[in-house]
Homo-oligomer: A and B are copies of this chain.
Amino acid sequence: MKDLTQTSETNGGTGHLLHSRAAAAGDVGLSHLTQMMADFASARDWEKFHSPRNLLLALVGEVGELSEIFQWKGEVPRGLPDWSVEEKEHLGEELSDVLLYLVRLADICDVNLGEAVLGKLKKNAVKYPIERCKGSSNKYTVYKESEIERNSENHEV
């Protein structure tokens, strides 16, 4: 990942996109996961269950399970220093379940998630210029007040 860290981010956070679209060796890729999920479903004859809205609701179910892990804890510090190994494994599993349904949903909707996410990162870099956003949690609408977006997916990342 050295190439990543060497890339300057000061030009808007899209520096990586210019010369580093390929995942590094050992990195787990979205297309790879997509294919694994497709094979998994196919081998079990589960394709008939994997309609877009079925998968979306399954995703919502997993987000619910992820939320349950955090629900009675109050705010928790980064890195979760006080969590047991079992708790962190459980968390890893719930995060994975969300990811797997997300990847599968994209595939079933004929969306190339890898392309989409790189495009979204690029768009976010334009939407939230470093020099204007620094240290603020305001929506980008505060920075570009005269612009009206067609949809409301305008929260910073």
Query: Which residues of A come within 8 Å of B, CB atoms?
Result: 1, 4-5, 7, 9-17, 20-33, 35-37, 39-46, 48-54, 56-68, 70-80, 88, 90-102, 104-106, 108-121, 123-125, 128, 130, 133-135, 137, 148, 151-153, 155-157
Least CB distance, A68 to chain B, in whole angstroms: 4
Residues on the B chain within 8 Å of A52, using CB: 70, 75-78, 80
Instruction: A28-B31, A52-B75, A100-B117 given; name 5 further pairs at CB < 8 Å.
Output: A27-B114, A44-B135, A44-B156, A45-B135, A46-B135
CB closest residue in chain B, given A112 = B92
In the complex, which of the residues B56, B73, B135 contacts A67, with contact meaning CB atoms closer than 8 Å?
B56
In the complex, which of the residues B29, B61, B115 contacts A24, with contact meaning CB atoms closer than 8 Å?
B29
CB closest residue in chain B, given A108 = B78
Least CB distance, A132 to chain B, in whole angstroms: 9
Residues on the B chain within 8 Å of A66, using CB: 56, 59
Assembled-state Cα–Cα distance A9/B116 (Å): 28
Q: Are A111 and B95 in contact (CB under 8 A)?
A: yes
Least CB distance, A81 to chain B, in whole angstroms: 9
In the complex, which of the residues B14, B21, B71, B119 contacts A58, with contact meaning CB atoms closer than 8 Å?
B71
Given A22-B26, A27-B30, A117-B100: A43 and B88 within 8 A (CB)?
no
Q: Are B22 and A65 in contact (CB under 8 A)?
A: no
Q: Are A9 and B42 in contact (CB under 8 A)?
A: yes
Least CB distance, A52 to chain B, in whole angstroms: 5
